[in-house]
Every structure is written in C-alpha cells, then in structure tokens.
Amino acid sequence: MPNMNRRESLFRLGTSLGSVALASLLADEARADEKPNPLAPRKCHLPAKAKNCIFLMMEGGPSHIDTFDPKPSLAQLHLKEFTREGVQKSAMESGKRYYVQSPFPFEKHGESGADMAENWMHLSSVADDLCFFRGCQVDSVNHPTAMYQMNCGNRFGGDPGLGAWVTYGLGSENQNLPGFLVLPEVSYPQGGAANWSNGYLPAYYQGTPLRPKGSPILDLQPPAGVTPERQRANLDLLSEINARHAVEHPGHDDLSARIESYELAFRMQMEVPEAIDISGEDEKTLSMYGIGNAATEPFGRKCLLARKMVEKGVRFVQLYNGSWDSHDYIHRAHGNLVRGVDQPIAALIKDLKQRGLLDSTLIVWCGEFGRTPDNGVRGGVAYGRDHNPNAMTIWMAGGGCNAGHTIGATDETGMTAVEEVHHVRDFHVTLLRLLGLDDNKLTYYHAGRFKQLSQFGGKVIDDLIA
C-alpha cells in the first residue's frame, strides 16, 4: 500500500500476522464495495421509514424552560437567591444568582397534551406530530465546543458532521445536487464551517452551504458566451489530465473528490436554479410559510427550500437560526426568535404531510444545550438564563419517530434531566437508526482505528422510535 503511513504500518505489523491478514481482507472487501459514484444511493443497514433528514439548528441554546418544559415551581422561587449544594456562600458573593420564572404561560395542545409556551401559536397546531425528548445531556457550556458536539459528535472539531455521516452511509437520491446542503445565516454559527465538515471522511461528503443573500452559490451561471458544449469539452479535457495524474499518485482522495466536484458543479448549473426558485409556488403556500412578512420570511424561505430539496432527493438539509443565547431580557429575545421560526416550522410539517413526505422525512429541532433556571444580575435585571449542559429539549417529527409523546423529564426547576437521561451520543445513534443506519457498522478507518459518529458507541433510545 504505497500511501500507508507509519502509524498504519505499525498497526498492521505490530499486532500479529492474524491482524495483518484481517486488515488485508477488510481492504479487499472495501475495494469490492466501492462504487464509481461515491454519492450513489446505498442500501440502509436496517429497515426504516426515514429517507431524508431536515435538521433545524437553533444556535445559541434555546431555553427549554421557556419553550417546551414548563416549571411552575419557579413562580414561587422567582428572584430568590440561587444556591447550589456544595457551593460555599463566599464563592458566590462576587456575583449573586437568582431564580428566574418563565415570562411565558404554558398550555397543553393536541390529544397528546404536549406542553408549549403560549407564543408557539402555529407549532401547537401540529402538536400530535411531535416527539419531545427532555432527557438529553451534553458535555460543554461553551458555544463552539457544544456546537461541534451536537453537529459532529466531538467537542474539539475536525470530525464529520451529521449530514456527512448520513450521506456516507446512504449516498444521495439526486446526483445533480449535493447530498448534504446547509442553509446558514449571513454570519456563520460559532465554530464556522467545521460544523458541516466532512472531517476525515472523503471530501465528497462535506456540506454545501447556500448563501442567504444574493446568488445561493457563487458562479452558478457560466460567464457570458460560454456554452454548455464548451464547458463539457473543457471538463472532459480536465478530467483526462486529472485521471493521468491520479494514476501516478494513487490514494489521493482529494483529487478524486475534486474531479467529481467539477462534474457535480456542471450538473448543478442545470438543476439548482429551478430547485432554489420559489417563484413557482402559489400564494397560499408562500403565505403559509410566512413569506412576505418581515419577521418570518428569512426562516420561512429556508423551510420552503428545505421542502423543495427533500422533494428533489437531497439526503440531509440543515437549517440554522441564531441568537438564542438569551442572558438578558428573555421575554423579548426568545419572543422575537419564536415569532420568526414558529410559523415556518409548522408550515414545513404541514406541507410535507400533505405531500405524503412526512413519513419519509425526519425533522429534528434542537440547540447545542439548554438554559439554567437562574441567572446573575446584569444591570439590575435578572430576567435571563445561563448555559446548561445537563438539561435541554429536543423534538422530532416524521420519519418514524414516536409522535405524540414526551420522553424523559427534568427536575422541578429544569436544572438537570432526571428521567430517560441520555448523553447526546445516544441521541445521535437513535437519529441514525431512524434513517436505517447502525452506528456500529457506519465506521471509517482513520488514525489507526475505525471511527464512528458516537465516538465509542452509544445506545438507541427505543422510546423515541414508534
């Protein structure tokens, strides 16, 4: 193996001849399974309803206490000094903390009796299509590392994103569009593009971001006077040159990925303009998504594009909505944010359902962590919340999830999960399972071992699956 590095050599030669033979067999099997097109559709490991995923990432850490996990006891504790067992009074004197009640009244909705703050006026209409999970915990209270862990399974960056793993496992149903699309805001989330990186997977599987303003993809249209025939001839020549170079330098995945990206870009010029054009949608649909309303249009466009992409066969679409980091004035901050996403998300669920696509599309809503029931005084105001890795709410819709149920619970103040408590790796394993993928089989050999999304394995949360 001409590209085998020192670590790989020691791995094969230092563990026994049996390991050498096994490594050879695995390599032969991998070569036998290789397809000419790395994004060609593949069979899933296990039967599953979900074929696609739309991942709604609320960057900044939405407060579960003020959205989907009511805590009536905070009304009696409001603005009383917060002390945590084991923390000495003297350690808190420089910055006292106080309990904060939610400014939003809660109501129960649907036959399932789902708890929602009253400002979720549209999402409440699809309450029975949702599966709420209150038992998830993460490891970090810092935004970039928590974002990496939620998106990539690793706090420290450099690993493949969720969409990269899914397209690696399942390929894509449309060869003229990327298998993993990202709809970020103008300002990228904390941690940047590493949130949708291919990491150590081949470059084919990285996320392709669509710009929220201007042309979604730069240079989508060829320069004036350049015909498709001329482009095709140029690509054929470039492919021939690259192929000769690849023969001389085997094992360079980046070169193969670059050749394929040129071909995909050529095909995208034909399909992307129509796929991202919403002018053909009727007025009823546009109005349903909140397009035409300044508060709801930005996220409404993303949700409508996500539906169109799923219709086109894109495997994984991730939408970002930021600024959920509400340390102060949570009524105003969360109120405005909910107003911007509530109608578009409800419209997405209803639209997919009426088109017969909700059963085959898994929708996930989450942030990178939850919020605390208390906050320090800032400018004389204590009406915000700090970061909380020990409690958060995630909900799912469609794709075979256990709709109409709330799984897990937090303590009486919302500080920590106490029922059906699972590390985020278990949630990741469950998400893969809903898409028909087995985390223990979805592996990639890198840096001397076979790696997987969950890092070292996780447990499927059975109660989240119908």
CATH number of the domain to which 87 belongs: 3.40.720
Residue 242's pLDDT is 74
pLDDT tens digit string along 137-173?
999 999 999 999 999 999 999 999 999 999 999 999 9
207 plus 224 within the same structural domain = no
Residue 84's pLDDT is 65
- Does residue 265 lie in a domain region? yes
- Does residue 115 lie in a domain region? yes
Map the chain to HEC letters. Answer: CCCCCHHHHHHHHCCCHHHHHHHHHHHHHHHHHCCCCCCCCCCCCCCCCCCEEEEEEECCCCCHHHCCCCCCHHHHHCCCECCCCCCCHHHHCCCCEEECCCCCCEEEECCCCEEEECCCCCHHHHHHHEEEECCEECCCCCHHHHHHHHHHCCCCCCCCCHHHHHHHHHCCCCCCCCCEEEECCCCCCCCHHHHHCCCCCCHHHCCEECCCCCCCCCCCCCCCCCCHHHHHHHHHHHHHHHHHHHHHCCCCHHHHHHHHHHHHHHHHHHHHHHHCCCCCCCHHHHHHCCCCCCCCHHHHHHHHHHHHHHHCCCCEEEEEECCCCCCCCHHHHHHHHHHHHHHHHHHHHHHHHHCCCCCCEEEEEECCCEECCEEECECCECCCCCEECCCCCEEEECCCECCCEEECEECCCCCCEEECCEEHHHHHHHHHHHCCCCCCCCCEEECCEEECCCCCCCCCCHHHEC
Residue 85's pLDDT is 56
Q: How far apart are CA 162 and CA 382, in angstroms?
A: 36
pLDDT < 70 regions, the chain: 1-36, 84-95, 215, 217-226, 228, 231-232, 234-235, 251-271, 377-382
Identify the domain boundary among 228, 247, 275: 275
- Does residue 3 lie in a domain region? no
Residue 14's pLDDT is 43
Residue 15's pLDDT is 43
Q: How far apart are CA 444 and CA 254, in angstroms?
A: 16
41 plus 182 within the same structural domain = yes
258 plus 110 within the same structural domain = no
Residue 245's pLDDT is 75
Residue 243's pLDDT is 75
184 plus 320 within the same structural domain = yes
Residue 31's pLDDT is 41
260 plus 387 within the same structural domain = no
Residues 6+ apart with CB under 8 A from 77: 99, 101, 373, 413
Identify the domain boundary among 207, 241, 275: 275
- Does residue 371 lie in a domain region? yes
The count of domains in the chain is 2
- Please tell me what DSSP assigns to residue 280: T
Residue 219's pLDDT is 58
Domain assignment of residue 75, given as a range: 37-216+281-464
236 plus 382 within the same structural domain = no
Residue 460's pLDDT is 98
- Does residue 18 lie in a domain region? no
- Does residue 23 lie in a domain region? no
Residue 88's pLDDT is 36
- Does residue 325 lie in a domain region? yes
149 plus 240 within the same structural domain = no
Residue 298's pLDDT is 95
268 plus 312 within the same structural domain = no
